[in-house]
């Protein structure tokens, strides 16, 4: 009993692992993996870069204050060495202020209260969970805005490792989800939008299917009659008579005559055994399954026009533009520009959401922006799949019209002719 229980536990463990693997590599499992991977990245980058953000703020402030004091001393030197209002004094003052401006830009200190990070009235961390989540999405989708970047050694090492593992996962997810969404949209398009053209095809195909089914029924009835007639003499299987076979297949090749005579004898024996077993011949009517197969085959061949695919992309961009226009206060053109640059993974980084750190809803905008980007890329992948199929079909049609691409039906006919001509025995048998 002990060994049986151990064996049952092993089998149950294998079954559980198999179920978990099937779930993980399903379409839903890939989406969950990508989302969890982004969440993990958000926590890790927050942990590594958050404290360094405060340290960097203090260092930049110290550098700014030193530069500010140096500028004050330079101004005093200009005032004391030259009379005010002279051309020399004005030129020196302009030079001092330009140096101060350039150094301020290079230091990058924005006047933040470095000790107030995390306080109610203090500045908001860029490297919080929402910022880390948004940055993780830009890494694995290869957008790479560049509005924030890791500064610590461990943060940069993590960024490289995170991208090496995350980019393939993201590409696999987009490819799978794009194919699934393309099949779903093609089905909806064929059923709702293009229902008229599909119904005409289905009627003609159903007639062909019905006639084929009737022929199968007639053939089965003929076999039943033949088996009933032979069942009256179940033992009379006959023997191979060469003279009778030669007379029946007169003019054929001798090897073919012998092979046909033997095959006739075997077929008669098979029919006698079927009739003697008294098992009824069952006629399988697979018309429903054939109709479903035919319907899905026709739907899979439906080509979605390029205008519809481009329209879906445009609608998703307009939806995001309205959303970010309301949140960020951008105009419609700037919002549409951001959505297109994001979904196409160009990612200039000149326009990014959630940069107003005084707004308490900035974190929510970053999280929703992450979700919008991931699902938008899946929709874009679906549209690219549909557009690729449509463009391939168009180019194939143009190639056939120009004679550059050969028709598959002609190739099949040529292959059939070549097969018939290469087998003389089968040709002689068919003639007999």
Scanning 232-253, the segments in alpha helix (DSSP H) are: 242-248
Q: Do residues 174 and 239 both lie within one domain?
A: no
- For 154-193, how does the pLDDT look when each residue is reduced to its tens digit (9 = 90+)? 999 999 999 999 999 999 988 888 888 888 888 888 777 6
pLDDT for 282: 44
Query: Over the Cα atoms of the chain, what is R_g?
Result: 39
pLDDT (tens digit per residue) in 388-419: 888 888 888 888 888 887 766 555 555 555 45
Query: Is residue 3 situated within a structural domain?
Result: no
- Percentage of the chain with pLDDT > 70? 62
Is-contact 39 134, C-beta < 8 A?
no
Position 412 in a domain: yes
**Is residue 281 domain-shared with residue 372, that is, in the same domain?**
no
One domain for residues 155 and 126: yes
Q: Specify whether 87 is located in the same domain as 134.
A: yes
Q: What is the pLDDT of residues 355-380, one digit of tens each?
A: 776 677 888 888 999 999 999 999 99
**77 located within any domain:** yes
Q: How far from 311 is each of 110, 307, 344, CA to CA, in Å?
A: 43, 6, 16
CATH (domain of 81):
1.10.287.70
Q: Are residues 170 and 222 in the same domain?
A: no
Q: Domain range spanning residue 362?
A: 15-184+347-432
Summary mean pLDDT of the chain = 76
Q: What band does 271 get if pLDDT is binned at 50, 70 and 90?
A: very low
Q: Is 273 domain-assigned? A: yes
Reply yes or no on whether the pLDDT at 17 is more than 60: yes
117 shares its domain with 154: yes
Quote the pLDDT of residue 29.
84
321 in a structural domain: no
Instruction: Give the model's pLDDT for residue 330.
Output: 92
- On whether residue 30 sits in a domain, the answer given is yes
What Cα–Cα distance (Å) separates residue 86 from each residue in 90, 100, 164, 232?
6, 21, 62, 134
Higher-pLDDT residue of 254 and 350 is 350
317 found inside a domain: no
| 189 domain residue, yes or no | no
175 with 260, same domain? no
Same domain, 137 and 209: no
Same domain for 226 and 280, yes or no, is: yes
Q: What is the pLDDT of residue 290?
A: 52
Torsion of CA 167, 169, 175, 176, to 10 degrees: -170
DSSP string of 362-373?
HHHHHHHHHHHH
> Is there a single domain that holds both residue 265 and residue 390?
no
Q: Number of structural domains, the chain?
A: 2
Segment 35-58 shows an average pLDDT of 93
Whether residues 81 and 216 share a domain: the answer is: no
Q: Which of 39-53, 57-71, 279-293 has the lowest mean pLDDT?
A: 279-293
Q: CA 386 to CA 312: how far, in whole Å?
A: 11
CA dihedral 118, 121, 126, 127 (to 10 degrees): 10
pLDDT of residue 24: 61
Is the pLDDT higher at 427 or at 338? 338
> Are residues 174 and 51 both part of a single domain?
yes
Write the pLDDT tens digit of every residue in 61-83.
999 999 999 999 888 888 888 77
């Amino acid at each position: 009993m002990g060994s049986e229980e151990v064996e049952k536990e092993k089998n149950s463990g294998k079954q559980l692992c198999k179920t978990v693997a099937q779930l993980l590599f399903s379409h839903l499992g890939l989406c969950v993996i990508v989302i969890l991977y982004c969440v993990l990245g958000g926590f890790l980058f927050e942990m590594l870069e958050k404290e360094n953000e405060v340290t960097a703020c203090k260092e930049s402030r110290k550098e700014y204050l030193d530069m500010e004091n140096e500028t004050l001393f330079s101004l005093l030197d200009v005032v004391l060495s030259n009379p005010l209002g002279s051309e020399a004094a004005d030129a020196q003052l302009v030079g001092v202020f330009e140096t101060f401006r350039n150094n301020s830009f290079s230091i990058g200190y924005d006047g933040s209260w470095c000790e107030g990070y995390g306080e109610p009235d203090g500045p908001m961390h860029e490297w919080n969970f929402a910022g880390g989540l948004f940055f993780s999405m830009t890494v694995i989708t290869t957008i790479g805005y560049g509005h924030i970047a890791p500064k610590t050694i461990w943060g940069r090492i993590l960024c490289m490792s995170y991208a090496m593992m995350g980019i393939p996962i993201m590409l696999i997810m987009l490819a799978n989800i794009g194919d699934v969404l393309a099949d779903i949209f093609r089905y909806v398009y064929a059923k709702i939008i293009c229902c008229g053209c599909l119904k005409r095809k289905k009627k003609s195909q159903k007639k062909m299917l019905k006639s084929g089914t009737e022929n199968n029924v007639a053939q089965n009835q003929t076999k039943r009659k033949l088996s009933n007639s032979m069942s009256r003499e179940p033992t009379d299987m006959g023997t191979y008579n060469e003279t009778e076979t030669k007379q029946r297949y007169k003019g054929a090749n001798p090897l073919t005559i012998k092979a046909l005579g033997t095959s006739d004898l075997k077929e008669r024996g098979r029919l006698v055994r079927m009739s003697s077993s008294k098992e009824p011949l069952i006629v399988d009517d697979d018309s429903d399954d054939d109709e479903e197969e035919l319907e899905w085959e026709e739907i899979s061949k439906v080509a979605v026009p390029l205008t519809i695919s481009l329209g879906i992309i445009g609608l998703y961009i307009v939806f995001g533009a309205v959303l970010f226009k309301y949140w960020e206060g951008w105009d419609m053109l700037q919002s549409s520009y951001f959505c297109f640059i994001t979904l196409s993974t160009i990612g200039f980084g000149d326009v990014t959401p959630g940069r107003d750190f005084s707004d308490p809803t900035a974190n929510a905008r970053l999280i929703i922006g992450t979700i919008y980007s991931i699902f938008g890329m899946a929709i874009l992948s679906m549209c690219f799949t549909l557009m690729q199929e449509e463009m391939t079909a168009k180019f194939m049609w143009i190639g056939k019209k120009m004679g550059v691409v050969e028709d598959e039906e002609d190739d099949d006919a040529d292959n059939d002719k070549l097969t018939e001509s290469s087998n003389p025995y089968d040709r002689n048998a068919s003639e007999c």
